Amino acid sequence: MTKKQALQLFEQRKVRTVWDDEQEKWYFCVVDVVEVLTESKDPTDYIKKMKKREPELAKGWGQIVTPLAIQTPGGKQKMNCATIEGLFRIIQAIPSSKAEPFKQWMAQVASQRLDQMQDPEKSIDQAIVDYKRLGYSDAWINQRIKSIEVRKELTDEWKRTGVQEGLEYASLTDIITREWSGFTTKQYKRHKGLRKENLRDNMTNLEIALNILAP
């Protein structure tokens, strides 16, 4: 079973997701969804209180959520995620004016993914749209898209030669990052003051170019 993590944007807010190739379904990080819908500063605590208010929801929680590896500031950790169907049940317990727009957004995300599987170019088109919404320049976007293409070619070659995803990918990525920056990936994120953010999405044009050219 292959699972791929991705960030989705709902009204400029980031929601961590995982795509399951076998089931052809998105899993959405529950704590991110609750944070978006409630604007709570402590969505984990909100979830605990929500389950106390809704005994039936708490009772069926284990069937609604699935723990999956999600990227966090401290590295990948198991976090509760849910499919669209599971999130519909959770959203019922959240009084929010954003509930209906969020449901429509989830359906759109699912539809876009199926379209992209049929036509991979649509994935690139969507990435360009998302980056423009976040205010990136055309020059930066062009560099970033090129870096994504190069990264894909590189990881395909790693996979072909038997390199294992996860720790081995991270170790090789650290070597590449150290070649041009003098830092490991984790050190460079700290150097740039990043926490949840993707390092490559916070590189300058020059940094992206150096990262592409690194041996």
What does the alpha-carbon distance between residue 201 and residue 139 come to, in Å, rounded to a whole number? 13
pTM of the model: 0.54
What does the alpha-carbon distance between residue 154 and residue 156 come to, in Å, rounded to a whole number? 5
What does the alpha-carbon distance between residue 102 and residue 108 come to, in Å, rounded to a whole number? 10
Mapped to the 3 state alphabet, what secondary structure does 128-181 carry?
Answer: HHHHHHCCCCHHHHHHHHHHHHHHHHHHHHHHHCCCCCCHHHHHHHHHHHHHHH
User: pLDDT for 56-113, tens place per residue?
Assistant: 999 999 999 999 988 887 778 899 999 988 999 999 999 999 989 988 888 777 766 5
Segment 182-196 shows an average pLDDT of 81
User: pLDDT for 130-184, tens place per residue?
Assistant: 778 778 888 888 888 888 888 878 888 888 888 887 778 888 888 888 888 888 8
DSSP, collapsed to helix, strand or coil, labels residue 13 as: strand
How crowded is the C-beta side of 172, counted as CA atoms within 13 Å? 13
Tell which residue, 123, 115, 105, has the closest CA to residue 33. Answer: 105
User: pLDDT for 13-55, tens place per residue?
Assistant: 889 988 887 777 889 999 999 999 999 999 999 999 999 999 9
User: pLDDT for 126-135, tens place per residue?
Assistant: 677 777 877 8
Indicate the pLDDT class of residue 117, thresholds 50, 70 and 90.
very low
| Residue 28: per-residue pLDDT | 92
- Please provide the DSSP assignment of 177-193 as one string: HHHHHSS-HHHHHHHTT
Tell which residue, 129, 148, 144, 154, has the closest CA to residue 207. Answer: 144
What does the alpha-carbon distance between residue 73 and residue 16 come to, in Å, rounded to a whole number? 13
As a residue count, the chain comes to: 215
